């Protein structure tokens, strides 16, 4: 064990209390991520050179897309957590399903929920669903980054006991120094993916290949999540699925990687819309 651990920053999970209403960093992270996504997607769809004729939503459609995405993230994240991580507890106390302020959201469930929401949105608008997937994948890393920072502030989803010099003693843990796995995920799932996708979108023009951006997003996310799962403390109600290694997060990320690889193959198998020469 190290001779010391970094002190956990004295940040309250509650940003401000207005009478009976509490505004939490976690909820603010969701709101900020969705607002950024709305702004960034509008910017993408209004930049003609990124598309060269590929049909995409109009800027006026993005307000509706934001509503669909919000429902998909919240409902999918909550239902995914219940099914993947804590089904027995919620079966015994079903009223707690509605108490989302008590925590319990799954990123993979959020992926499924937003995918379904985007599919329904695309069908209603007569759009290519892969193009809609690409747009949300371009913006999603910022939301993931903010969400993982909020996990850190909440002192939840921390890592395993370690002797690294940057370990933290989390207030809701057993007092032992642990990996700040939330910060690892913020960096890998958030900053890294955004740093990779941004030049590919704005310089390489990958939005002309529907499905390629979301496929790349899924592959990097899956690899990053599996890597971090090796130092993240498994959810106590689930534990390890096999031996002392395989976790639910790893399993779900492996499925994500397979789906993402299929999307990349599908996108690369199609025809690229090349920029037309200027006259």
The pair of three-digit structure tokens given for residue 33, joined into one six-digit string: 């991520």
Q: Cβ distance 99 to 105 under 8 Å?
A: no
C-beta contacts of 164-171 below 8 A and 24+ residues apart: 164/2, 165/2, 166/6, 167/2, 167/5, 167/6, 168/5, 168/6, 168/7, 168/8, 169/5, 169/7, 169/8, 170/8, 171/8
| 43 is an annotated ligand-binding site residue | no
The pair of three-digit structure tokens given for residue 229, joined into one six-digit string: 């799962």
Contacts of 179 (CB under 8 A, 6+ apart): 158, 159, 160, 162, 164, 167, 231, 232
Query: What is the C-alpha separation between 77 and 73, in angstroms, rounded?
Result: 6
Q: How many CB atoms lie within 10 A of CB 4?
A: 10
Q: Cβ distance 67 to 34 under 8 Å?
A: no
Binding residues: 148
């Amino acid at each position: 064990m190290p001779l010391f651990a970094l002190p956990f920053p004295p940040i309250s999970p509650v940003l401000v209390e207005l009478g009976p209403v509490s505004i939490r960093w976690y909820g603010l992270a969701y709101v900020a991520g969705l607002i950024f996504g709305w702004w960034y997607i509008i910017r993408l769809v209004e930049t003609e050179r990124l598309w060269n004729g590929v049909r995409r939503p109009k800027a006026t459609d993005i307000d509706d897309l934001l509503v669909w995405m919000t429902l998909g993230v919240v409902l999918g994240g909550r239902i995914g957590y219940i099914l993947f991580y804590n089904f027995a507890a919620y079966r015994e106390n079903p009223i707690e399903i509605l108490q989302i302020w008590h925590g319990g959201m799954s990123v993979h469930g959020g992926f499924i929920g937003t995918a379904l929401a985007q599919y329904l949105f695309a069908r209603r608008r007569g759009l290519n669903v892969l193009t809609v997937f690409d747009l949300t994948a371009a913006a999603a890393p910022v939301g993931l980054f903010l969400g993982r920072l909020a996990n850190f502030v909440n002192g939840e989803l921390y890592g395993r006991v370690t002797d690294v010099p940057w370990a933290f003693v989390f207030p809701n843990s057993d007092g032992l120094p642990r990996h700040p796995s939330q910060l690892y995920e913020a960096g890998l799932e958030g900053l890294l993916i955004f740093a990779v996708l941004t030049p590919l979108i704005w310089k390489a023009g990958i939005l002309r290949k529907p499905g390629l951006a979301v496929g790349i997003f899924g592959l990097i996310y899956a690899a990053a999540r599996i890597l971090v799962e090796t130092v993240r403390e498994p959810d106590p109600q689930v534990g390890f699925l096999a031996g002392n290694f395989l976790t639910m997060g790893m399993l779900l990320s492996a499925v994500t990687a397979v789906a993402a690889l299929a999307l990349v193959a599908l996108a690369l198998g199609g025809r690229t819309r090349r920029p037309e020469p200027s006259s």
